[in-house]
Amino acid sequence: MVTRRIDMNVSFGGEILERLSRMKLDSVEKAYPGFLCEPPEIFNSARHAYIVSSGHFMTNGVAPSRHQHNLRMAAPKLYWICKNNFLISKLNEKIEKNFLISIEQTEEGGTLTHSWPPVQYREQQWPESEATTDPLWSKRRRQANKGTYQQAVVPHIAHITTNLPSDIASMAQTVNEDLARFDAQYEGGAPFSAVLLRSESSASSQIEHLTANARRIALARLGDNTRRNASLIARNTMALEAALQLADDLTVNAMLEMHRALLNDSDPKQAGRLRKEPVWIGGHSPVSAMFVPPEHSTVSSSLEDLVEFMQRTDIPAIAQAAIAHAQFETIHPFTDGNGRTGRALVSAILRSRGTTQNFTVPLSSGLLTDTEQYFEALNAYRRGSIIPIIEQFVAATRSSMANVQVLLNDIETLRAEIYATAQRKTKNLQIVANLCVMEPAFTVGMVQERGVALSTAYKILDRLVERNLLRTESKIGGQSVWSVRVLTDALDAFAERANRRS
């Protein structure tokens, strides 16, 4: 039997073990990630090759996802135990191919390195001064949030070679082709594109625990400010619109414009401005946080590097969007709104690469099916693995497109029900029907803008209210308003399906 040892980073090691346990290896019939302490247990067999781990922090081959920096300096090992050197080399080749890592072979074993750079960390002190602590905190909380913490140092990625494993590259390419094929059906503009954009806005906001029903969001778009969450989600729609308008010019300024559109009402002082202060994710301070993004002085150069990465064309678009999104979230350039802006950036990248030209993929609705896996994929990216976030985006796209198909059927049913309210399908009825399948709520002025006389508009709309297809709302800005009952119900059903785990 031949044993080869590979030293590795704890966080990345757990992920490799977990994936190896699911991967079919030509030279390995069984893979055993274990909960073992030094010295490692050796399985003595002439037939099988086994993979075992050492290190008390590894549970069933999966490293903890929280507080990764607390374990960063540990030195776990993997042991390749095979019948001979030939099997060792074949196993190394398979692992390198599937995990985007390189193994430098030595007489004893080898050193595992990432082909995608993990986030590094540097130790910092908190609080910077007593003035930064909350004077209302108890002594116990003050002590718990005082001391050293690990702040991220984000690597630049613009020129890193990205050779995806064949199965991942194939999945990404297939999804790209599916999206492009669907998009091509609606050359010149999909009639439901506005609805899908609103769906993406709502789902992206829901990941951040901002929820409101479709009717309230639609009314907020028209100027109803009585529901805060609905207004915030409506602003997210504007950020998405800005992202798509700027898709041909993806720059740092474009990102600032997306952010400004998102937060201009709720936080005008920070809207469209890069942060000038420390931020952290989770906890009451950097000391108790799950993740501390990089020093604010590095944000601008990191974003410029990200822009350069987004201009590449050697990576499948969905994979590029996934990596860019994860890098953006790791940089965390703003004090608030990073998640929603980062997901708007995804739509802009897909538009920029030409994958989608006529509609917005409500990818966030797919991510909603398992937000825990989405956040863990972001953690894995920071540990040096791009595969999980790409897998999440591929799965989310497939899930969202299946959901979209149901929504489109509901929209076409609505159009047919509107036409059924009259004996003839007049031009004015067609105009109103098109408006009703595009806008969940609208004013009488919006009907007039499309060329329908006021008296005719009221006649058609009153008939649709009688048939229970429209709902009369309170006036906004002095104008009569209607919401499209069937469309808002369909959008709420879309959101409910997105929330349902597959």
Q: 306: domain CATH number?
A: 1.10.3290.10
Q: Which of 344, 364, 338, 204 is nearest to 267 (CA)?
A: 338
DSSP state of 118: P
Q: 432: domain CATH number?
A: 1.10.10.10
Q: Which of 338, 374, 395 is nearest to 65 (CA)?
A: 374
Residue ending a domain, among 64, 86, 113, is: 113
**pLDDT interval class at 141 (50, 70, 90):** confident
Averaging pLDDT over each range in 54-58, 189-193, 361-365, 382-386, which range is the top one? 382-386
In the predicted structure, residue 26 carries a pLDDT above the cut 60: no
Q: Does residue 328 share a domain with residue 189?
A: yes
pLDDT in tens, 37-48: 233 333 333 333
Q: Which residue has the higher pLDDT, 204 or 334?
A: 334
Average pLDDT over residues 268-292: 92
Q: Does residue 179 share a domain with residue 88?
A: no
Q: Does residue 339 share a domain with residue 272?
A: yes
Q: Does residue 275 share a domain with residue 333?
A: yes
Residue 6 lies in a domain: yes
pLDDT computed for residue 433 by the predictor: 95
Per the CB < 8 A criterion, the answer to whether 100 and 386 are in contact is yes
Residue ending a domain, among 333, 367, 402, is: 402
**Percent of the chain scoring above 90 in pLDDT:** 41
Per the CB < 8 A criterion, the answer to whether 251 and 221 are in contact is no
Q: Does residue 65 share a domain with residue 33?
A: yes
In the predicted structure, residue 88 carries a pLDDT above the cut 90: no
Residue 430 lies in a domain: yes
Residue 374 lies in a domain: yes
Per the CB < 8 A criterion, the answer to whether 219 and 481 are in contact is yes
**pLDDT interval class at 235 (50, 70, 90):** confident
Residue 138 lies in a domain: no
Q: Does residue 339 share a domain with residue 254?
A: yes
Backbone angles phi and psi of 33, in degrees to 5: -70, 135
pLDDT computed for residue 222 by the predictor: 92
Residue 133 lies in a domain: no
Rounded distance between C-alpha atoms, residue 282 and residue 104, angstroms? 37
Rounded distance between C-alpha atoms, residue 292 and residue 281, angstroms? 6
Per the CB < 8 A criterion, the answer to whether 205 and 340 are in contact is yes
Q: Which residue has the higher pLDDT, 431 or 40?
A: 431
Q: Does residue 398 share a domain with residue 412?
A: no
Q: Which residue has the higher pLDDT, 395 or 29?
A: 395
Q: Which residue has the higher pLDDT, 200 or 314?
A: 314
Average pLDDT over residues 73-102: 47
In the predicted structure, residue 223 carries a pLDDT above the cut 70: yes
pLDDT computed for residue 80 by the predictor: 43
Per the CB < 8 A criterion, the answer to whether 494 and 192 are in contact is no
Per the CB < 8 A criterion, the answer to whether 493 and 455 are in contact is no
Which residue segment(s) compose the domain that 490 sits in? 406-499
Q: Does residue 288 share a domain with residue 181?
A: yes
Average pLDDT over residues 158-183: 89
Rounded distance between C-alpha atoms, residue 256 and residue 265, angstroms? 15
Amino acid in position 249:
D
Averaging pLDDT over each range in 95-99, 192-196, 199-203, 252-256, which range is the top one? 252-256
Rounded distance between C-alpha atoms, residue 136 and residue 27, angstroms? 61
Walk across the sheet containing 50-54 and list its strands: 50-54, 77-82, 2-7, 109-114, 101-105
Into how many domains does the chain fold? 3
**pLDDT interval class at 352 (50, 70, 90):** very high
pLDDT in tens, 55-64: 332 333 333 3
Secondary structure element (H or E) that encloses residue 476, with its range: strand 470-476
Mean per-residue pLDDT over the chain, rounded: 77
Q: Does residue 377 share a domain with residue 259?
A: yes
Q: Does residue 293 share a domain with residue 193?
A: yes
pLDDT computed for residue 59 by the predictor: 30
Rounded distance between C-alpha atoms, residue 175 and residue 402, angstroms? 12
Q: Does residue 275 share a domain with residue 341?
A: yes
Residue 128 lies in a domain: no
**Number of other residues whose CB lies within 10 A of the CB of residue 210:** 16
Residue 46 lies in a domain: yes
Residue ending a domain, among 402, 432, 461, is: 402
Rounded distance between C-alpha atoms, residue 36 and residue 60, angstroms? 9
Rounded distance between C-alpha atoms, residue 133 and residue 136, angstroms? 9
Residue 131 lies in a domain: no
In the predicted structure, residue 300 carries a pLDDT above the cut 50: yes
Residue with tokens 């290190």: 55
Q: Does residue 311 share a domain with residue 163?
A: yes
**pLDDT interval class at 240 (50, 70, 90):** confident
**Number of other residues whose CB lies within 10 A of the CB of residue 290:** 15
